[in-house]
Chains A and B, each alone.
Chain A
Amino acid sequence: MELALVRFLAQSFGVAFTASPRPALTFFAVQAVVAVVARIGWVVVSPGLAWLISVPALIVAFVMAGLEIAARHDEEIDELLRDLKIAHLLGVFGTFSGCLVFAALGLPEDEALGLVDDGAAQDVGLAMSLAAASEHPEAAQYGVVGGAMVVNGGVTYARGHILEFLATFDLDKQWHRIETGGAIGVLTLIIWLPVLALVVVVLMGVALAVIAVAVKAAESWMDQRGRRPCPTCSTEIRKEASLCFQCSAVVEPEVVLGSTMSNRWKRLFAALRRQPA
């Protein structure tokens, strides 16, 4: 049962791995975990993909991950990698991460059978395409893998150029540290956006209803404070009123709106002006 849940999680996060902004590091992490669990004997990786967790592959991935991290923290290494056009090609590692995760943990039974039926287990990329579309013709399956690699490479290439452009504004390196979390987060978050939208609507509705009740209570209290007795019938009328709603008597408003000062202040200033110096 745990394996089924792990498989479910692996499939859920598989797409996010391929879009990781640190593809080499992500690949190395996936590779290391799979290598350890394969060595313990918890999983068996098919021979077509076993080379991905071989010692040379681990060393290569470790070096690439190290270069990737170094490039993020050292401008000279970053420039060297860019000059060698390596920096923009790291994105294809994301495809391999997806392959390995699908193959080791998330490869569904039908697709696993497809590997054998098509006799194409030796091809690394096919693990990905078969997992995604085993019922499709072989050409389409190759197309899926090719597409995945092109998309990964293209995204990383475009991102590299954008980062180069942004680097001219002397941005802080700290943004890089949360890239991976953000990328994975948003890809998993998108599924939950309708729920989030509904939660926002409901919460806003409840909060606004509470505020409306509070405002109404406050207005009612303020309304009582802003009253005076009518000179004719003693009914409590508003201070701004020029007419009593009970006896229809015309009264002088105690508070006049639309001017900067209330009558009370006007009277005060008038009294002050009348005082001898």
Chain B
Amino acid sequence: MEHADALLLRGRCGACAERVPRVVVLRGGDCPKCETGLEWKAAGALSESLRSQLGWKRWLAYVLVLAGSFLTGLIPAVHVVLHPLLMLLALFVAHVWVVRHALRWLGPGRRVTARLNLKLLAAALTCLNLVVNVGVAPLLSVASVPLAIFSVVLFAIYLETALSMIGRRLEWEASQEPLKTMEWIVPVGLLVGLLVVTVGGALGIWGMLYALTEAEIPAVSTVAGWLLGAE
């Protein structure tokens, strides 16, 4: 790879090597410092190079998650807590190590919405993993091998969805397409829904407890006595 292209991949101008907004590099604009054209010279699009750059990191992450899940699955009883924690950690590390670098190439609006989408996906997968590990796996006496495979599948869903989502957005960014309605309406809708359900649930429980404190509930003995008397 050419020196200038390697600099562009690092988010720097190919000539003066100063840091430039990555989205400007992606769109092939001029360097704000030295006004040199930020032209990608190698074969294939810059977005393709970015995606291929993430390839080895992805496979290494899969192997690490598989090994980690298998090893934590070997610890009896505690694995129901360890597995979801490991998964959360894996998602977090994958986000920082793999996804975050790709996200930096997007414009501010697209980056914020994509980031929110991914956080919601990570939260949903964490919840699913918790339910499976705490409830379903002990119920079926599932051993560490299928649990490890399950963790990798969940992890792969996150990583592949993230990379595919970012890959598509990189192409839109390169072709200077404006932010689509679907890009922001989905995460905002989901977040609002989540907030409504959470607040609703909290209010419901508070209301239930309040009603219990206010209600004049007869003792069970009274009810039973009344029942026996009525009979």
Q: Taking beta carbons and an 8 Å cutoff, which residues of A are in contact with B?
A: 1, 3-5, 7-8, 21, 41-47, 104-105, 107, 109, 112, 115-116, 121, 159, 162-163, 166, 169, 171-172, 174-179, 181-183, 185-187, 189-198, 200-201, 204-205, 207-208, 211-212, 223, 237-245, 248, 253, 256-259
In chain B between 176 and 206, which residues have their CB closer than 8 angstroms to a CB of chain A? 191, 194-195, 197-198, 201-202
Q: How far is the CA of A186 from the CA of B134 in the complex (A)?
A: 6
Asked if residues A194 and B197 are in contact (CB atoms below 8 Å), the reply is yes
Asked if residues B141 and A46 are in contact (CB atoms below 8 Å), the reply is no
Q: Taking beta carbons and an 8 Å cutoff, which residues of B are in contact with A?
A: 1-7, 10, 12-13, 15-19, 31, 33-34, 36, 76-77, 80, 88, 92, 95-96, 100, 115, 119-120, 122-124, 126-127, 130-131, 134-143, 191, 194-195, 197-198, 201-202, 208-209, 212-213, 215, 217-221, 223-225, 227-228, 230-231
Asked if residues A179 and B139 are in contact (CB atoms below 8 Å), the reply is yes
Q: How far is the CB of B33 from chain A (nearest CB, A)?
A: 4
Asked if residues B227 and A121 are in contact (CB atoms below 8 Å), the reply is yes
With A21-B139, A198-B198, A201-B191 in contact, is A253–B3 under 8 Å at CB? yes
Nearest A residue (CB) for B4: A242
Q: How far is the CA of A54 from the CA of B213 in the complex (A)?
A: 34
Q: How far is the CA of A105 from the CA of B12 in the complex (A)?
A: 70
Number of interchain pairs (Cβ within 8 Å) = 198
With A42-B221, A238-B17 in contact, is A201–B123 under 8 Å at CB? yes
With A112-B223, A194-B194 in contact, is A245–B136 under 8 Å at CB? no
Asked if residues B17 and A241 are in contact (CB atoms below 8 Å), the reply is yes
Residues of A within 8 Å of B137, CB to CB, are 182
Asked if residues A243 and B16 are in contact (CB atoms below 8 Å), the reply is yes
Which listed residue (B15, B88, B126, B138) contacts A178, Cβ 8 A? B138
Residues of B within 8 Å of A179, CB to CB, are 138-139, 141
Asked if residues B195 and A245 are in contact (CB atoms below 8 Å), the reply is no
Nearest B residue (CB) for A163: B141
Residues of A within 8 Å of B5, CB to CB, are 258
Q: How far is the CB of B170 from chain A (nearest CB, A)?
A: 20
Asked if residues B34 and A159 are in contact (CB atoms below 8 Å), the reply is no
Residues of A within 8 Å of B127, CB to CB, are 193, 196-197, 200
Q: How far is the CB of A11 from chain B (nearest CB, A)?
A: 10
With A183-B135, A189-B134 in contact, is A204–B140 under 8 Å at CB? no
Q: How far is the CA of A194 from the CA of B225 in the complex (A)?
A: 42
Asked if residues B139 and A171 are in contact (CB atoms below 8 Å), the reply is no
List, sorted by A's number, 5 A–B pairs whose CB atoms are closer than 8 Å.
A116-B230, A189-B134, A200-B127, A201-B194, A241-B16
Q: A105-B220, A169-B143, A183-B138 are in contact. List 9 more A-B contacts (CB 8 A).
A: A43-B220, A163-B141, A172-B143, A191-B201, A200-B122, A204-B122, A208-B100, A240-B12, A259-B3
